[in-house]
Amino acid sequence: MRSGFKRALMIVLLLLILVVSLAYAEEKKYPPYPDVWGYELPVYGTSRPVTHVAKMPDGDYIISYIREVKGKLPEVTFKYAWISFFSHISKDFTESEYDEFLKKIQKENRKVKYELKPKITFSDGISIEYKSDSGNCADPFDRFLQKKDKNGKVITEKMLLYLYDKPIKTDINDKCERNWDYKKNYYFKKVEHMNIPYLISLEDDTFLILSYGSNSIVALRFDKDLKTKSDLMGKNVFLIDCNTLINLRSKIKDSSDSGTSDALSKYLLKLKKED
C-alpha cells in the first residue's frame, strides 16, 4: 500500500513539474533570440516622436509609437501602434487602449523592478553608456555611445547618425556663438544625431536601443563591440567614431550647425557610395 501510494504521489509530482515547465516554456520564449537586428518605424509629423519600450513575459520587447496624426492643434487625434522586436507582431491602439496599455506596462515593470537607463554593464565588467551635452547652446552633435573596460578606461566613443533622403528645414540657434556668423535664421538639416534615451540589456551580451531624431525612429540591436547585423547601417543609419567629427570640423570654415551638418552629409554619402 505504502509503495503504491509513494509511486502515485511521485507520478503526481512529476506531472505537476511537467505542467509547470510547459507553462513556463510557453511564457518564456526569448532567449534564444532570433537573427533580428533592427528596423525603422514610421514617423508622422516632424515633432519629437513619442515612443515607449516594454519587456513582455515571453522575453520579447514591444515598441509603441504614434502611427497616425489627424487634425491640427487643438483638435488633434492620435492613432497608436506597437510592434514586437523579435516576433515582429504589430497591433493598432485607440487612444484609450494606449493609455491603459501604458498603465499596465508601468505596473508590471515596477513589480519586477525593471528600469530603462542610459547605461548597461555586461557580465565581464565592460560598460556602454549614452552621453549627451545639455543646455541652451548644447552642441547637437555632442552625443555619443561611450564604451569602457571593467576598470573604467574609455575604449571607444561613437556617434549614431541618421542621413536624411530629404533635408529638414530647421531653425538655427542664433544665441550660440558657433552660429553668430550664420546669416539666416534657418538651415536645411541633412544629418542628425540620433537621441538614445536608454539602452536595453539582453541576455546574450547584446542590447537594444530605440533612437529617434526630428523625423525618424530606429530600433537597433548591437553586441558589446558596438557591431550590428542590421541592414539599415550604411543606408540611412551610420555609427562613426567621434574623432571623425573632430577631424571634419578642423577642415571646414563654417563652424555653424549648418556647416557641420553639410560636412557630415558629404562624409556619409561618400561612405554610402564606397559601400
128 in a structural domain: yes
Q: Rounded distance, CA 183 to CA 194, Å?
A: 26
* pLDDT at site 45: 57
209 in a structural domain: yes
pLDDT of residue 146 exceeding 70, the answer is yes
Which domain, by its residues, includes 53? 38-274
5 in a structural domain: no
26 in a structural domain: no
The structural domain count of the chain equals: 1
> What average pLDDT does this structure show over 144-160?
96
Among 197, 59, 205, 60, smallest CA distance to 121 is for 205
CA angle 214, 44, 196 (to 5 degrees): 40
Full-model pTM:
0.83
Amino acid at 68: E
Residue 261 cell numbers, joined: 551638418
Q: What percent of the chain has pLDDT over 90?
A: 52
22 in a structural domain: no
E strand or H helix at 126, and its extent?
none
pLDDT tens column, 67-91: 888 887 778 777 888 899 999 999 8
Q: Rounded distance, CA 107 to CA 150, Å?
A: 33
116 in a structural domain: yes
* pLDDT at site 5: 42
30 in a structural domain: no
267 in a structural domain: yes
